[in-house]
Amino acid sequence: MRMIKLVAPISTLLLFSIIPSFAQTSTTPTPAPKPKSTTTHKPAASPYDRTLLKPSLLKETAPDSYQVKFETTRGDFTVTVTRAWAPLGADRFFNLVKHHYYDGARFFRVLPNFVVQFGISAYPPVNAAWDKATIKDDPVTQKNKRGTLTFAKTADPNSRTVEIFINLKDNSSLDSQGFAPFGAVDGKGINVVEMMYDQYGDSAGMDQDAMEKLGEHYMASKWPKLDTIKTASIIGGASSSTPPAKAPAASKPQQ
């Protein structure tokens, strides 16, 4: 829990009947052969990008700065990421968003005047693939101010994976605990974040293990009012020439 985690060919056999020349010619027309179907049956498309099942392939270096638009059930907001703040975190977030990891994810932990947390995929196979896909810690160069985004981690070093929280206030106590902000919500977008459904308190947040193993079906039945990310997509940011960065139940950030 991470709180602030071989088909053989078939030959057609034609049988010919040798009819003597004195036999009576049949007047019954021979049925025309039925045309062969040209329709091919394709397997159903995966509901998620299959590349997400191989975290080791998602190592692209992020631009120096880029923007991500979140469309949610509560409204839309945009985040600006500054790679210099936390390069490894910015790269990880860039790759996850590019492959739509967060689409369909719930804001599963909403604590007013503290944090809003998300990052559990709607799909159990994706959660299983990323459970141990950790990245090294970044130095904390920015303060956990209201509106900043930071990866959740455990008390162990280098334990960040996919879960992220947005600070709802200036959480200066998190700076010394190794939580390194990598981006911030733009403008009044923080007002949308503050409106995420929060009436479950921390009870939904403590149910992360089941959420990860059972996915959206479970969350929709057990915690139906949690708000959802409809889609998170990259909408801006120039290419960067920066060389690629080298890249279990998680703990929550302490109040």
* C-alpha gyration radius of the chain: 27
Tell me the two tokens of residue 213.
């193993």
- Contact residues for 190 (Cβ-Cβ < 8 A; gap 6+): 77, 146, 147, 166, 168
Q: Cα–chain-centroid distance for residue 35?
A: 45
Q: Of all residues in the chain, what percent carry a pLDDT higher than 90?
A: 74
The answer to whether residues 222 and 200 touch, using CB atoms and an 8 Å cutoff, is no
Q: Is 188 exposed, middle or buried (0-12, 13-18, 19+ CB in 10 A)?
A: exposed
Contact 127, 120 (CB under 8 A): yes
Separation CA 68–CA 98 (nearest Å)? 10
Higher-confidence position of 31 and 116? 116
CB 75 within 8 A of CB 229: no
Give the position of tokens 């009012």. 225
pLDDT digits (tens, 9 = 90+) for 143-182: 999 999 999 999 999 999 999 999 999 999 999 999 999 9
Is residue 82 helix, strand or coil?
A: strand
Lowest mean pLDDT among 119-133, 151-165, 206-220, 227-241: 227-241
Q: Supply 35's token pair.
A: 């045309």
pLDDT tens-place string over residues 84-143: 999 999 999 999 999 999 999 999 999 999 999 999 999 999 999 999 999 999 999 999
Ranges of beta strands (E only) in 159-213 are 164-167, 181-185
Number of H helices, E strands in the chain: 4, 8
Which of 22-31, 61-70, 116-125, 198-207 has the weakest average pLDDT? Answer: 22-31
Query: What is the reported pTM?
Result: 0.79
Listed by start position, the domains of the chain span 64-236
Between CA 126 and CA 172 the distance in angstroms is: 33
- For the chain, the average pLDDT equals 85
> In CATH, what is the architecture of 64-236?
Beta Barrel (2.40)
Q: What is the DSSP letter of 95?
A: H
Q: Which residues make Cβ contacts (< 8 Å) with residue 141, sequence separation at least 6?
A: 84, 85, 86, 180
As a whole number, mean pLDDT of residues 194-200 equals 98
Report residue 248's pLDDT band, with 50, 70 and 90 as the boundaries: very low
Report yes or no: 106 and 112 within 8 Å, Cβ to Cβ. no
